Structure 1
């Protein structure tokens, strides 16, 4: 069952290897890779946090605000980018007994309605993995289109 401390592992500084599809809806499109750094800090005694991702080679930054709902016992993950300056619709979900987090929401991409899935896995003191996938067919199939591999920065 999810708790207000599910994302405590992410507090601190990370080096991040990003892999993105050149077309988020095409499973056969090429992957591009780029490095970034992330810094995450807690709020609300752990029941919220913010992380900022700096992508210096592409001259943009991203931000995620995570909020824990103690009644529903689930998280909302809210993404924004300096490229758009807008807050995207949240994805909602929780961590399971296996330590993996699954979060879902609705959005649009290139004018098409998409179901969005974020998965958190591979969580340890020094590593974590996040991936994003889109579905345009009611979750029958998914196109994984963005993967981040996190490595904790040395102190």
Structure 2
């Protein structure tokens, strides 16, 4: 199994005069962009053991995920189920499509925090979605990137990266290799 999908280009980031990240939708962005993900998937996760430390060690673990549409199709929710050191873990993603801006907002929460994280925002182009947000990770200001590669709708790949230099360089820290089961 390949460790990454780095052969895909990351869109150039745009900032306004005050340094705010500007996210524009693709011309083809639609409420149907996540249709490939409906139903249940088995997942092999590869997560970097330590971030921002030149770590090359990956932790691999299985999980499942099940997604369904909500809000007459402009949203969807999924549940992510895994186990870490024998302890059950549950994550939940809420994705909302804004018909006016043509942008998706993706929110995450899990059984450890019970708090919705700041959303990553973006859209799909040619079956690849890029979603960004500014965030703080262990005291560092970062730009976070979620990438959805749905070119193979039965085996999509989700990946996450962070940048400490406004998108000049990226550290990929998590990959999810999905296989649709229903």
Q: TM-score range by the shorter chain?
A: over 0.9
Flag the structure with larger Rg. Answer: 2
1:33 to 27, 47, 60: 60
Match of 1:100 among 128, 133, 153: 128
Alpha-carbon offset, residue 9 of structure 1: 0.9
Give the gaps of 5 or more residues in structure 1. Answer: none
- SS for the counterpart of 1:5 is coil
Two-structure CA RMSD over aligned residues (Å): 1.3
Higher strand share: 1
Alpha-carbon contact 2:49-2:55 (below 8 Å) kept: no
Q: In the TM superposition, what are the counterparts of 1:1-150 in structure 2 within 5 Å?
A: 1-57=28-84, 58-96=87-125, 98-150=126-178
1:39-78 Cα offsets, whole Å, 9 max, x none, are 0010022210001100034421111100001111010011
Count residues with an aligned counterpart.
Answer: 153
Q: TM-score, normalised by structure 2?
A: 0.80
Q: Which contiguous aligned blocks of 4+ residues in structure 1 show a shift greater than 2 angstroms? A: 24-29, 122-125
The answer to whether the 8 A contact 1:24-1:134 is kept is no
Note the residue ranges of structure 2 that are not aligned, 5 or more in a row. Answer: 1-27
